[in-house]
Structures are given as structure tokens and as C-alpha cells.
Amino acid sequence: MSGKTGIPIRVLSFVPFTGIWPHAVAEAQLLKLLGDGEFDRYVLTCGRGLHSFCTVMESRGMSAASSPRLREATCDRCCRDAGLVARNTLSTHHDLAEFALEQDEKWIESQIADVERNSYLELEVDGFPIGRIAAYETLIKFKKTSSDLSEAEFMHYKETLCNCLATYTAGSRALAAIKPSVVLVYSPQYGVPGVLASLAQANGCKVIFVEGSSNIAERYSSVRLWNWAKFGLVNPGLDVWEDRPVRDWSREVDRALNHVEELSASRSFSVYSAKARGDSARSHFGIEAGVPIILAALSSYDEAYSAAVIGGFPESKFRSHVFVDQFAWIGNLIAWARRHPDACLVVRLHPRDFANKREGHVAEQSERWGAVLTDLPANVLVDHPSEAFPLHDLLGDVSVLTTGWSATAIEAMLEGIPVVTYDQCLPSYPPEIHSSGESAHEYFANLEQALLLGRSSAHRQRALEWLTFNYVEGTVRTGGRVRDRGPRMTVRVRSLFIAAIERLLPGLVHRFDLAMPVDHRDRVKLRKFVQGGYGSLFEVEATRDSGQTPKGTGL
């Protein structure tokens, strides 16, 4: 597998934050799966190029005001890990710091001094929208639904912008020196990776989005990959789902079921709901037996807004033409409930909008819900995150789930519950597996129809088909760290033990992680994707059955 001239394809993996070890391991394993000979492998790391303050430091609870000793120790650990990754993958190793020039610092200072709080998104350098690229993590961190920043939020933004500008100057020179054809970037929606991704695109490189699987059970042992320029943050599986080839995936369905089990157990940091307890939702909320329950699950708007600001989402993925926003949707849904007193509407506020186990900030939109959810009819109830009532238990009594784009829809379908969304453009799951539409009239008609149809095993079947398709076709298995391997019960016990050791001897654990053999089952798929003109892994898989036209998964 090489270019038309027989010259090996030069692949660069940008790993600026090796201190976020699970991500660094995934990138190292991708390079090992590619192999040498047909690919020339390069690694570009930080090398103290972002030493003032960086994402690794923030992930460890530090701030720009933390002591220089602590920040320097973090840089030391990152540099050691960067060397481990490069040596283990037999890659040519470069650092951003190698390409930094003395005059860069003054130029960066001048750019930072000129940026203003009311126009920071408009900052461009040589046509590159660095102001927007740098905004994502500040908007996400503070759960913003507008570009208005407080003074403290603006200070955080400027710290990120400083690193983005440093990446721009050094990264431009690095790309000119390395001359890659393909660049792997983990989470290019964030500032520093995003700048390098934009520079690489401008240089004609194929930039590949890399992130851990959305399957919680495989988050660190398989990765999603797709063409960043083509898809941004939109799952490319949506494009090919309807015309997917026939495949017998019955042996792979356990991969989806493992994800479902992790959701219910609520062990992952990415699961907001409490662990299932087997409680009755009717008893908890005082809903009479026989009264159908409609659960309206709200979505976290700030994530969609942030994605749209950097161009990772099209406007249609976060701004609906059916209801202008979720407040309008819930307002109309409450009005509908007033006219249907025989049904009970439960509005479940999104846990991310409030301080929770994962984030300490409160979202801007949380303040508006108080005004919307007042003077409610007797058949409209509010499920506030402070009640910590498990979603899994709530679904045990729900008749219909309705949402804008929340992933709780998949959980509901797996329970056999019909799902209705109000705009088919919003969700990151196909409209073919649930009820959706393009107008308010169609939405309420679908809602009333779903109440009549009730639960069905067909809903579970469609959800499992989508999850299995997504997790099998759209990922590459890499193997993960030592703690990610083996039977799932063993993994949980081993993970606690290894985490304790890693705090004392991180270098030893990291060496073991890199010494583990990679999972070769998806190697051919990875190599074809990197070498070919494919937009996603889904397209690679589709070419295997290009002669087949029937739809279905064979589950």
C-alpha cells in the first residue's frame, strides 16, 4: 500500500498532549497498525512548546497561576512519554519547540494584546480563523450558548489562544519541514489540535479525525476515524446507514450490548445519570397506574453551539426550523399536554446544564428553564438533576420518549420505547430508526401515533442495528492499555489496581501499555482508509460489498 509512484505515504501523528495518556496510546497503536515500509511514520509532540499552561495541566486540576515547579514537572512527564511513543512506534520524532523562533513570542504577545472580548471570534491570521478555532474549549468548559464571555472566561480563552498562536507559528514550519501527506489529529475540534489540522488542510494533507469509540465499553480500545474536512463533528455513519450493505453482524452484537450495560451501571465519567436502582418512577413522581408517561429529554445545547462556532456542525444540526430552540419546543409541548390531561408529561432537565460529577459549572441555558417551567398543569412534572433519579429506572415506566437530539433516545429504544424527535436534522442517529419529521404538525402527529403504538421489540432491534453498525463499521480496534484488555469484569478490577500503581510509577505502567500487542483485526481497514480516497471507515467497509444492494444488518 503506497502511492502511485511506489513512494511510501508519509503519515504524521500530532500528539501535543502525551500527558493525556489514553489518547497518546491510541495514536501510538494506530501508527503501529499502519506498519513501516509502506508508510513513513512521524510524530510531532510539544517538547515544552506550550510550557506556560496547557490542556494536560488543566486536566490535572492546575491553572495558569499554579506554581512553576508543578507545571515544569508536568512538562517533564509529557516529554518522557513523548519519547516513549516515538521510540515504541519507530517513528521520526519532532517537537513543536524545535520550530519555534525567538521573535514568535513578541508576535504572540501583540496578537493577544489586540484581541478584544466583544470581537475575539473574528481574529484571523493569514486567513486562518484562529479566533474561532481557539474558542471551542472555553465555550465547552463554561457551557456557553452565546459568544459573550465574562472577564474570567475571556482570560481562559486568551490562555488557549496563546497556545493556538504558538502552534500556528511552530506548526507551520513543522509541516513545511516534514511534508506529510496524511495527518492524524486526536480531537481536532479543540484549539491546539484544530490549528494544526487547519494548517495541514491548507497544505493539501488528508486530515483524519481521531477519537475513542462512542461505545463506552471500548472507549480506550477502539477509535473512530474520518476525514475531518469532509465531516467535521458529524458522524459519517448517518450518510451511509440507509444504503448499508447486507452483513451478518450477529456475532458482533455483544459489542453494542456491552455499551448498554455500561450505561446502566453508570461507571463512566461520560454517563451523567445515576446507577439503576430498580425504583419505580410512578411512585417517585406520584403518577397513577395506567396513565401513559411521555418523557421529554432535554439536550445540552452548548455542545452543539460550540461545534457550530468552529464549523464542526452545519447550522441545521443545532438550529431547528421546526422550533427555534428547546425552550420553544418545551413551551409548545406543555401547551399540548394541557389539551391532553389523560397523559403525563415529565420534562427531564439535562444534567450537564448543572454542576455535576463531571463539571462544576452551570450552563447559561439552565437559568431560563425556571421561567419556562412555571405555572405548569397538573399533568406536567419536572425531573431535576438534583433528584438524581436514574434514567434507566425512569424508562421502566415511560410510554414514549421525545427529544431534540439527546442520546437517551437510543437507551429508550433499547427498552422497546418509541422515540419521537421534532426535527430529523438534529439527532446523531438516523431518522429511519425512530419517528421524526420537518414540521410542528408532523411532530405532534408522530407523538400521538407513538402513544397508540406503545412498546415494541422492533424499536430495540433497530437501535441495536444502529449501534452495532456504528461500533463495528465505524471504528478500528487498537487494543488499548493493559487495563483495557481481557474479560470486562477483569478489566474493572485490574483498572483500579493499575491506576494506583500509575500514580506512583507512571513511566513503568506506560512502558507496559506500549509493549502490549496491538489488535490486528481491523488493520486492513485502517490501512485502506489512510491510503485511499475514502471519507470514512464506513466507506471502506461498503466497498467490500459494493455489488450488494439489499439493506439490513442480519442481526
For residue 359, pLDDT beyond 90: no
Nearest to 416 by CA among 404, 401, 430: 401
Q: What are phi and psi of 472, to 5 degrees?
A: -90, -55
Would you state the pLDDT for residue 405? 95
For residue 270, pLDDT beyond 60: no
| Mean residue pLDDT across the chain | 91
Cell representation of residue 142: 463554561
Q: How confident is the model at residue 495 (pLDDT cuts 50, 70, 90)?
A: confident
Per DSSP, the three-state class of 438 is: coil
For residue 139, pLDDT beyond 90: yes
pLDDT (tens digit per residue) in 94-120: 999 999 999 999 999 999 999 999 999
Would you state the pLDDT for residue 203? 96
Q: What count of other Cβ atoms lies within 10 Å of the Cβ of residue 8? A: 16
Task: Give the contacts of 309 (CB within 8 A, at least 6 positions apart).
Answer: 121, 132, 135, 136, 139, 147
For residue 547, pLDDT beyond 70: no
What letter would DSSP give residue 435? B
Would you state the pLDDT for residue 553? 35
For residue 140, pLDDT beyond 60: yes
Pick one of 2.60.120.620, 3.30.565.10, 3.40.50.2000, 2.40.160.20 as the CATH number of 277-453: 3.40.50.2000
pLDDT (tens digit per residue) in 6-40: 789 999 999 999 999 999 999 999 999 999 889 99
SS3 for 120-184, per residue? HHHCCECCECHHHHCCHHHHHHCCCCCCCCCHHHHHHHHHHHHHHHHHHHHHHHHHHHHCCCEEE
For residue 552, pLDDT beyond 50: no
Q: What is the reported pTM?
A: 0.92
Task: Give the contacts of 377 (CB within 8 A, at least 6 positions apart).
Answer: 334, 337, 338, 341
- The answer to whether the beta carbons of residues 436 and 477 sit under 8 Å apart is no
Would you state the pLDDT for residue 358? 58
Would you state the pLDDT for residue 361? 66
For residue 272, pLDDT beyond 70: no
Domain ranges in the chain with CATH number 3.40.50.2000: 277-453
Measured in whole angstroms, how far is the alpha carbon of residue 49 from the centre of its chain? 26
How buried is residue 266: exposed, middle or buried, by Cβ count under 10 Å (0-12/13-18/19+)? middle
Measured CA to CA, the distance from residue 328 to residue 552 in angstroms comes to 37
Residue found under cell 455489488 = 547
pLDDT (tens digit per residue) in 363-378: 667 778 888 899 999 9
Measured CA to CA, the distance from residue 380 to residue 368 in angstroms comes to 18
List the Cα angle 8/91/99 in 5-degree steps.
100
Would you state the pLDDT for residue 500? 84
For residue 297, pLDDT beyond 80: yes
Per DSSP, the three-state class of 268 is: coil
CA dihedral 461, 464, 468, 469 (to 10 degrees): 60
Mean pLDDT of 391-415: 94
Measured CA to CA, the distance from residue 252 to residue 175 in angstroms comes to 40
pLDDT (tens digit per residue) in 468-486: 999 999 999 999 999 888 7
Would you state the pLDDT for residue 545? 59
What letter would DSSP give residue 2? -
Q: How confident is the model at residue 450 (pLDDT cuts 50, 70, 90)?
A: very high
Mean pLDDT of 387-411: 93
Q: How far is CA 245 from CA 473, 522, 538, in A?
A: 11, 18, 10
Would you state the pLDDT for residue 354? 66
What letter would DSSP give residue 536? B
Q: Between 199 and 388, whose confidence is greater?
A: 199
Q: How far is CA 505 from CA 82, 88, 399, 509, in A?
A: 16, 19, 51, 7
For residue 502, pLDDT beyond 90: no
- The answer to whether the beta carbons of residues 15 and 50 sit under 8 Å apart is no
Mean pLDDT of 74-82: 96
% of the chain at pLDDT higher than 90: 75
For residue 401, give the H/E element and its range: strand 400-403
